[in-house]
A = this chain, B = another copy of it.
Amino acid sequence: MNKTTTQDKILDAAEQLFASTGFADTSLRQITSMAQVNLAAVNYHFGSKKELIQSVLQRYLSVLMPRLDQEFSQLLSSQKQNDLTAVLSVFIKPLLELNKVQHHGTRMFLQLLGRGYTDVQGHLRWFFNHHYGRTLDKFVLLVQQACPDLPASEIFWRLHFSLGTVVFTMASNQALQEIAAADFNENVEIEGVIHRLIPYLAAGIASPLTLSSQAH
């Protein structure tokens, strides 16, 4: 049999619509109509739209974050000096393995992540920090070890600059890939974008302190 449950039908439709239209601009009626289930099913199975959004993300995060956490711990315990590119590259494999969770899991998840941060749904930030703050701390520690010359506050800013790049790129990933295909005849998969991102981010994060940045 292996029939998909109502909950899964809702999750599948929701993540697709959320990724392409955003959380706020996707209505429950769109979701239930695409999933071919009754409107009331969302509130019955998930309680509210808010909890549905969290469930959609949780399906990926519960796979991704433990894997990342493990990799971070491993890198932290290995005594060798980790360079920044190595630290950032930790994300690649766990991210790409999300394609096993869903057909286009990686792209979908990253797009959702972008939406999650750009649509400033306050509850999502809380949800993430509450569940995965520890893992995040390990990552920050690794970056600090890789950039011993940078003060913590500078790393704070640069990591948020980088978060902006990732989030924005992923949120507008589809549009960017279409432009790249049209203007430069190049077809980049999500994997290609990730491999373009890492050296860019590493160079920005590790850039030497300048007079002008220190003055302010």
Contact = CB atoms under 8 A, between A and B. Distances in A.
A137 to B, nearest CB: 13
Interface in A141-184: 152-154, 156-158, 160-169, 171-172, 176, 179-180, 183-184
B184 A196 contact: no
A contacts with B: majority SS: helix
Q: How many copies does the complex hold?
A: 2
B212 A202 contact: no
A83 interface: no
Contact of A200 (B118, B120, B179, B207): B207
A195 interface: yes
Contact-residue size bin, chain A (C-beta under 8 Å from the other chain): 35 or more
A98 B209 CA distance: 28
Interface string A181-216: 001101011011101111111111111111011011
A195 B169 contact: no
A209 B196 CA distance: 9
Contacts of A171: 118, 120
Interface string A113-132: 00001111000000000000
B168 A156 contact: no
Contacts of A189: 216
A203 B152 CA distance: 19
A101 interface: no
Contacts of A162: 165
Given A165-B164, A168-B117, A199 B213 contact: yes
Q: Which of A154, A168, A172, A183 has the most CB of B within 10 A?
A: A168
Contacts of A204: 165, 200-201, 203-204, 207
A203 B198 CA distance: 13
